[in-house]
């Protein structure tokens, strides 16, 4: 790929180490500015969020991780995560391994966001460049991703999440999304709101609310749970 990569990097202090590494590389057109979302925007087509092991664990515990993932997938750009940290960094975290694995699985399979791993800032910088080059090379070979296909896949994934609730099949899941607009809003609805929907009733509404509350109690504290973080609460 002969054309230089135009990389906009978020100007927050946490990215200064990456800016230093990228600045020493050839063939990059760097711009440092405040990004609304993500840490790197490449050629106005790829959006990459960088998280250290500590950042990743903290965002999982306080609930920011999946809210941020929702914003990333709503962007017209192709999103990806780079998770940075050594084996020792991950071992030092006060969070269960199963919770971390569950979060990574949710990002990749439910949100359809690739997750890349690196050990340090230098490797993160190389991944940013290499992944971007591969993406644009694929485009030049005739593969062009479409938001329509991705939106359809996203809708299917949302319905599958809702179908894990008691009494919810494909039709009811579709009805929930059409009425509330998002999985999070569906799961935040109370029994009265749910029971007013066509095809729902007090019994089904109560089962849904009870299941959601049970899942929150069971998985709400990722530092104590021995089970994977539930993908229910996006």
Q: pLDDT, tens digit, for every residue of 176-185?
A: 988 888 877 8
pTM of the model: 0.62
147-219 CATH, one of 1.20.120.1780, 3.30.420.40, 1.10.150.20, 1.10.3720.10:
1.10.150.20
Q: Which residues of 53-86 are buried (b: 16+ CB within 10 A; e: fewer)?
A: bebbbebbbeeebbebbeebbeeebbbbbbbbbe
Encode pLDDT of 58-110 as tens digits: 888 877 888 888 888 878 888 999 999 998 888 888 788 888 888 888 888 87
Angle (nearest 5°) at CA 27 between 24 and 33: 70
The first and second tokens of residue 82, run together, are: 């780079």
The full set of domain ranges for the chain reads 5-140, 147-219
206 within 8 A of 181, measured Cβ to Cβ: no
Q: Which pLDDT tens digits describe the chain residue by residue (234 residues)?
A: 446 788 899 988 788 888 888 888 888 888 989 998 899 998 888 899 999 999 998 888 877 888 888 888 878 888 999 999 998 888 888 788 888 888 888 888 878 889 999 999 999 999 888 888 887 777 665 555 544 445 556 677 778 778 878 889 888 988 998 888 887 788 888 999 999 898 898 999 999 988 888 766 544 444 444 333 343 333
- Going by C-alpha positions, the residue among 16, 6, 24 that lies closest to residue 126 is 24
CATH 3.40.50.10130 matches 5-140: yes
The first and second tokens of residue 137, run together, are: 């090379």
9 within 8 A of 49, measured Cβ to Cβ: no
């Amino acid at each position: 790929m002969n054309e230089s990569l135009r990389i906009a990097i978020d100007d927050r202090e946490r990215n200064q180490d990456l800016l230093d590494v990228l600045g020493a590389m050839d063939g990059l057109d760097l711009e440092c500015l405040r990004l609304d979302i993500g840490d790197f925007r490449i050629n106005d087509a790829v959006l990459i969020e960088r998280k250290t092991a500590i950042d990743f664990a903290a965002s999982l515990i306080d609930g920011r991780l999946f809210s941020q993932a929702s914003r990333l997938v709503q962007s017209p750009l192709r999103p990806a995560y780079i998770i940075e940290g050594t084996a020792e960094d991950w071992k030092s975290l006060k969070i269960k391994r199963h919770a971390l694995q569950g979060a990574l699985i949710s990002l990749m399979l439910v949100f359809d966001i690739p997750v890349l791993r690196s050990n340090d800032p230098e490797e993160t910088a190389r991944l940013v460049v290499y992944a971007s080059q591969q993406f644009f090379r694929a485009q030049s070979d005739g593969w062009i991703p479409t938001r329509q296909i991705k939106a359809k896949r996203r809708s299917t994934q949302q319905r599958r999440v809702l179908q894990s609730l008691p009494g919810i099949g494909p039709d009811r899941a579709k009805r929930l999304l059409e009425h509330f607009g998002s999985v999070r809003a569906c799961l935040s609805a109370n029994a009265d709101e749910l029971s007013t929907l066509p095809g729902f009733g007090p019994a089904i509404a109560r089962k849904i609310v009870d299941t959601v509350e049970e899942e929150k109690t069971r998985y709400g504290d990722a530092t104590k749970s021995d089970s994977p973080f539930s993908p229910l609460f996006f």
